[in-house]
Amino acid sequence: MKKLLFVVIDGAADTPVSALGGKTPLEIAKKPNINNLSRMGTNGLMQVLPIPPESDEAVLSLLGYDVFDVYTGRGPLEAVGGGADFQDGDIAIRCNFGSMENGVIKNVRMDDFSSEDAKKLEWAINEFVKLTNAEFVFRSTAKYRGVLVIKSKEKLSPKITNTHPGYIVRPMTSIYGEVPVSSAVANPDMVMRKVIPMERTKEAAFTAEVVNEFIKKSAEVLKNHPLNIERKAQKKAPANIIITRDAGDRLPKLFSFSKTYDVHWACFAEMPVEKGIAQLSGMELIPMPEASGDVRKDYWIWAQTLIKNIQLYDAVYVHLKGPDIFAHMGDYQGKIQSIENIDKYFFEPVLKRIDLQNTIIVVTCDHTTSCESKSHTDAPVPLTIAGPDIFPDNVSGFSERSCANGAMKSIRAMDLMPMLMKFVKR
Mind listing the pLDDT tens digit of every residue in the chain (426 residues)? 899 999 999 999 999 999 999 999 999 999 999 999 999 999 999 999 998 899 999 999 999 999 988 999 999 999 999 999 999 999 999 999 999 999 999 999 888 888 889 999 999 999 999 999 999 999 999 889 999 999 999 999 999 999 999 888 887 776 667 787 888 877 889 999 999 999 999 999 999 999 999 999 999 999 999 999 999 999 999 999 999 999 999 999 999 988 899 999 999 999 999 999 999 999 999 998 888 889 999 999 999 999 999 999 999 999 999 999 999 889 999 999 999 999 999 999 999 999 989 999 999 999 999 999 999 999 999 999 999 989 999 899 999 999 999 999 999 999 999 999 999 887
Which domains does the chain show, CATH number per domain? 3-69+253-425 (3.40.720.10), 76-248 (no CATH)
Of 275, 54, 299, whose CA–CA distance to 180 is shortest? Answer: 54
User: What pLDDT score was predicted for residue 175?
Assistant: 67
